[in-house]
Every structure is written in structure tokens, then in C-alpha cells.
């Protein structure tokens, strides 16, 4: 039985993975910088307000180093995927969705801005079910908002929808003496 040796193509530096890895490393640096600015009371023993940001930073560093290593080994994508052209229209809808969220969260509130973002990102990923996407985004956004606002006491951007629902919830809670 004969074996045929196929020459392995030389490894090339995968620039997308390298750039994302460097970007993640920069994000980890920003997380570290901002975490150092969090005031920590000496009353905290081992677990304080900086534990989760530091864990996030460590995770970002590990992921960024793995991506950079993958970039020097030629990338993580199979060759046939590397030849697939980028769908710039889809990428545009995702980016527009993220920017819309950033620009609309203050004037419209967390829920409305998140629903708009969700619908645009879903469309970018090929969904043609706008109503279903809007309803799914609404449920997820309301769960996130009230999880932060009611359970944790953190206001992440109340708008018209949140204010109306808070009024209804407070009225119902008042009627039942809670």
C-alpha cells in the first residue's frame, strides 16, 4: 500500500483573527482600567464589586490570546470558508442595529431601543418575520429591563414603555397591599 504525501500549504497570518484578538486585548485593558477606578470599601473581605469585572477581563485576555495564536497558525476557518465573500448588506444591518440601540436608548428607553436593535439584527441574519422578531425582542427586553430595575434596583434606561408598565405594576401592587 502506498501513501501519497500531499504538500501542506504554508501557513499564512490570518489578519481578521489577529485584528479581533488585538481588539479584544484592548477591551480587556479598558475593563482593567475601569475596574481599577471602582471604589472598594475596606468592609469587603474577599468578594467585592470588582470580582466580576476582573473575571471578565481574564476571560477577554484568554480569548484574545487564543485568537492571536490562531491567527499565527493560519486562522480557525477551513479554507473553503475563507473564500466565502462577506455579506456586507447583512453586516450593515447588524451594525445599524447596534448603532440604533446606542442612539435611541436615551430618547426612547431601553425596551424600544432594544426591540429596534433586535429586529435589525434578526433581519441582518436573514429573518423575514419582523412581527415575530419584534415580539421576541419585546419579551427579552422587558425581562432584561425589569430584571435589572426591579430585582437589582439598577435603572438601565427607562422610557415611555417602562414608565407606563411601572405605573401599572405599582398600581397593582398598591391594590394588593404589597
Q: How far apart are the first and last CA of the chain?
A: 82
How is residue 147 annotated by DSSP? I
pLDDT at position 77? 73
**Gap between the Cα atoms of 174 and 67, Å rounded:** 53
| Domain boundaries defined on the chain | 15-82, 88-175
- Torsion over CA: 39, 45, 49, 54 (sign): positive
pLDDT at position 153? 77
Q: Report the pLDDT averaged over residues 161-177.
A: 85
pLDDT digit string, tens, across residues 26-70: 999 999 999 888 887 776 566 677 888 899 999 999 999 999 999
Can you spell out the DSSP letters for 69-137? Answer: HHHHTT-SS-HHHHTSPP-HHHHHHHHHHHHHHHHHHHHH-HHHHHHHHHHHHHHHTT---HHHHHHHH
pLDDT digit string, tens, across residues 92-149: 999 999 999 999 999 999 999 999 999 999 999 999 999 999 999 999 999 999 888 8
3-state secondary structure (DSSP) of residue 146? helix
With beta carbons less than 8 A apart as the criterion, state whether 64 and 28 touch. Answer: yes
At 6, list the grid cell.
Answer: 500531499
Q: Which residue has the higher pLDDT, 46 or 162?
A: 162
In this model, does residue 76 exceed pLDDT 80?
A: no
**Cα maximum dimension of the chain:** 85
Amino acid at each position: 500500500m502506498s501513501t501519497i504525501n500531499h504538500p501542506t500549504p504554508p501557513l499564512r497570518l490570518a489578519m481578521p483573527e489577529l485584528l479581533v484578538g488585538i481588539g479584544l486585548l484592548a477591551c480587556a485593558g479598558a475593563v482593567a482600567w475601569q475596574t481599577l477606578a471602582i471604589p472598594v470599601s475596606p468592609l469587603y473581605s474577599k468578594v467585592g464589586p470588582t470580582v466580576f469585572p476582573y473575571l471578565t477581563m481574564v476571560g477577554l485576555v484568554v480569548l484574545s490570546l487564543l485568537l492571536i495564536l490562531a491567527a499565527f497558525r493560519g486562522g480557525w476557518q477551513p479554507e473553503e470558508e475563507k473564500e466565502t465573500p462577506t455579506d456586507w448588506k447583512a453586516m450593515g444591518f447588524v451594525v445599524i442595529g447596534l448603532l440604533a440601540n446606542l442612539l435611541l436608548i436615551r430618547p426612547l428607553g431601553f425596551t424600544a431601543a432594544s426591540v429596534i436593535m433586535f429586529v435589525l439584527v434578526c433581519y441582518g441574519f436573514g429573518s423575514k418575520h419582523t412581527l415575530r422578531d419584534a415580539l421576541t425582542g419585546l419579551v427579552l427586553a422587558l425581562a432584561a429591563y425589569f430584571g435589572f430595575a426591579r430585582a437589582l434596583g439598577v435603572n438601565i434606561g427607562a422610557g415611555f414603555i417602562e414608565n407606563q408598565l411601572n405605573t401599572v405594576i405599582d398600581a397593582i401592587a398598591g391594590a394588593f397591599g404589597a
